[in-house]
Amino acid sequence: MSVAVFATLALAEVGARMTVPGPQFFEQIIGESSRHPARLSDANTTRIFTIRGLYEGADQAVLRGSEHGLIEPVSEAEAEFNILFVGGSTTEARYVPEDDRWVALLNVPGEIATFNAGVSGGNTADAYFNYLFLIEEQGFEFDLVILMTQVNDWSWMFALRPYGGSLRVDGYRDYLSAWYLDRRDTGFVATLRRQARLVEAAARAATALDQTVFSSLLSNEQSAESQVVIAYRESRQNVLDAYEADTAPLNECDMLRENLADYEQITTSNLRAFNDKVKEAGAHLLVMSEAHSYGAPEGSFYEDFRVPRRCAENLLSHEGSAAFSDKLGQSYLRAASKAGTLIYDLAGEMEPFMSGADGGRYMYDEVHYTVDGSREVARLVAPVMRQILAER
């Protein structure tokens, strides 16, 4: 796994100004998810994020968890179709204002009710168990399930390997629990083991940032910049300082070449299991690739928070990172096709915007959407969604 990628998903936990009850930090969230039947947002909570400076026009975003752990707004009215969205932080979209999140924009009162079960760092196994929890224990019924986990699946595949497992639905919680418990071990041998783990530095940094942000908020310290922006800037710089730039062609990246086949095989297995459960409930599973902004000009961002992809001990160029991401997306969609799910290449459809002169208008880092990006996703996904529902 790339530290850069894990740092990005971990940073999505940073910056809550108010949480009721008190905030969970990144390590706690992972630890609790290993013991709970679902990994969803904290139920009945409100978190307010000051995001000034993150992208053009950014000021504040509110993240509310419903009684079922879904992201508000949750439609209370009856609708002809119910659609569940599962995935990681790109589905959750916590740094976009509530009504501008792309999942919320797809809600059509009386016709289409959308339910956002995205959670930062969530992978396909998390999405699978979240789906089962919602339909089996919470009584939800869905006509369509839309999944985006391409990036996080790659990250967690590496994170779980040291424990003799992989990112597979079978045994996932045991391996996740082992990963978390090992992080609690402060012994010398455990520390040495962790030094070789790609996930360690980013995860600990995310928790430290969580704690720093919350402490400063409790002391009522004021800043012209939001803590979210400061955290993103520092995390990016830490990665750039820790690794050297690499101008080698992507086809010389052994890390990608040696692991892509495993990634596709594992993803196929998980998506097949997921698709079987969705079909048993009489619904459809749509798998979408994740867009990236590596092709966007640096000057198009309000501030450039992109972190390049990592290959071994070097960072790729933005061009190499783009090619890396594209190959990962192609592998993800191939796996979905083999598993028998519906597929939509969102990354391919977004690419002309993301690589254009104002590409930075749609994302504030390499994968997370701004308000404009969220609106563009909703515009592209809406007709795809409607076509599937019309053919039911």
Note the pTM of the prediction, 2 decimals.
0.86
Domain locations in the chain as residue ranges: 3-390
Between 21 and 277, residue with greater pLDDT: 277
pLDDT at 51: 95
Whether pLDDT at 305 is above 80: yes
pLDDT at 351: 96
Considering the chain, what is the average pLDDT of its residues? Answer: 83
Instruction: Please report, rounded to a whole number, the percentage of residues in the chain having pLDDT higher than 90.
Output: 60
Domain 3-390 is found in CATH 3.40.50.300? no
**Span 191-208, mean pLDDT?**
44
**pLDDT, tens only, 156-179:** 998 888 887 789 998 888 888 777
Whether pLDDT at 347 is above 90: yes
Whether pLDDT at 129 is above 80: yes
**pLDDT, tens only, 9-35:** 455 444 444 333 344 444 555 555 555
Whether pLDDT at 283 is above 50: yes
pLDDT band at residue 209 under the 50/70/90 scheme: very low
**pLDDT, tens only, 148-158:** 999 999 999 98
**pLDDT, tens only, 218-236:** 444 445 568 899 999 998 9
**SS3 sequence of the chain:** CCHHHHHHHHHCCCCECCCCCCCCCHHHHHHHHCCCCCCCCCCCEEEEEECCCCCCCCCEEEEEECCCCCECCCCCCCCCEEEEEEECHHHHCCCCCHHHCHHHHCCECCCEEEEECCCCCCCHHHHHHHHHHHHHHCCCCCCEEEEECHHHHHHHHHHHHHHCCCCCCCCHHHHHHHHHHHHHCCCHHHHHHHHCCCCHHHHHHHHHHHHHHHHHHHCCCCCCCCHHHHHHHHHHHHHHHHCEEECCCHHHCHHHHHHHHHHHHHHHHHHHHHHHHHHHCCCEEEEECCCCCCCCCHHHCCCCCCCCCEECCEEECHHHHHHHHHHHHHHHHHHHHHCCCEEECHHHHHHHHHCCCCHHHCECCCCCECHHHHHHHHHHHHHHHHHHHHCC
